[in-house]
């Protein structure tokens, strides 16, 4: 799909970085709406008087028109399947009667080490460097672009798109855990 997901929060950059790291990484960029505090949230009507924003999803088309709004209680998790259905309506060439059509599965390249990552994730960058420093060849998939790879990661990571995730000779390692990687690689 021709889309870009962005997370926007009224928290500071440092707070957002810590939050993303606590989740083991996320697959989309986070933007801070910290100063002037909540300006973006206020312009979209989701900034509370207490200074924090509602949990809200907005789908904005390529012409800048808001096509979908979904506001949740801060403790509720939005339904990603519903969001994908909304996105498929904006791009009917990828829609099917049951939601978004997945491209045919390309065979996963053969490798003893497969890295599921994102381009922007700090732990993914560290993992790539670590693998290279140890002379370990690997193949990688960017889960922001390869939604089938993202589905695999969600299956291994309790529904989360945690990066980096490794498949080392069939052993799945969610998150950058050097000791587990060393054991799986026999180093």
Which residues does residue 116 pair with via DSSP β-bridges, in sequence order? 141, 165
Q: Where are the alpha helices (DSSP H) in 5-121?
A: 13-22, 39-43, 80-90
pLDDT at 131: 96
Q: What confidence tens digit (pLDDT) does each residue in 93-152 have?
A: 544 433 444 444 445 556 899 999 987 788 899 999 999 999 999 999 988 778 788 889
Closest CA to 74 of 41, 32, 106: 41
CATH topology of domain 7-100: Glutaredoxin (3.40.30)
| Higher-pLDDT residue of 94, 178 | 178
Is the pTM here over 0.85, yes or no? no
pLDDT at 21: 81
CATH for 113-185 is 3.40.30.10
Euclidean distance between CA atoms 165 and 167, whole angstroms:
7
For the chain, percent of residues with pLDDT exceeding 70: 88
| Integer angstrom CA distances of residue 115 from 42, 50, 146, 187 | 39, 42, 12, 18
Domain assignments of the chain as residue spans, ordered by start = 7-100, 113-185
Within this chain, domains 7-100 and 113-185 share the same CATH topology? yes
């Amino acid at each position: 799909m021709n889309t870009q997901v962005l997370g926007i929060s009224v928290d500071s950059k440092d707070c957002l970085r810590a939050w993303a790291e606590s989740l083991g990484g996320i697959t989309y960029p986070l933007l801070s709406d910290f100063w002037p505090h909540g300006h973006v949230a206020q312009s979209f009507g989701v900034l509370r008087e207490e200074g924090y924003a509602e949990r809200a999803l907005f789908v904005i088309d390529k012409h800048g028109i808001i096509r979908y709004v979904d506001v949740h209680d801060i403790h509720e998790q939005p339904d990603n399947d519903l969001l994908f259905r909304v996105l498929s309506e904006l791009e009917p060439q990828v829609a099917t009667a049951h939601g978004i059509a997945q491209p045919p599965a390309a065979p996963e390249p053969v490798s003893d080490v497969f890295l599921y990552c994102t381009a922007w994730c700090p732990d993914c960058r560290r993992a790539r460097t670590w693998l290279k420093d140890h002379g370990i060849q690997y193949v990688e998939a960017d889960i922001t672009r390869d939604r089938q790879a993202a589905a695999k990661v969600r299956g291994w990571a309790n529904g989360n798109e945690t990066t980096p995730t490794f498949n080392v000779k069939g052993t799945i390692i969610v998150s950058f855990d050097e000791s587990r990687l060393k054991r799986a690689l026999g180093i």
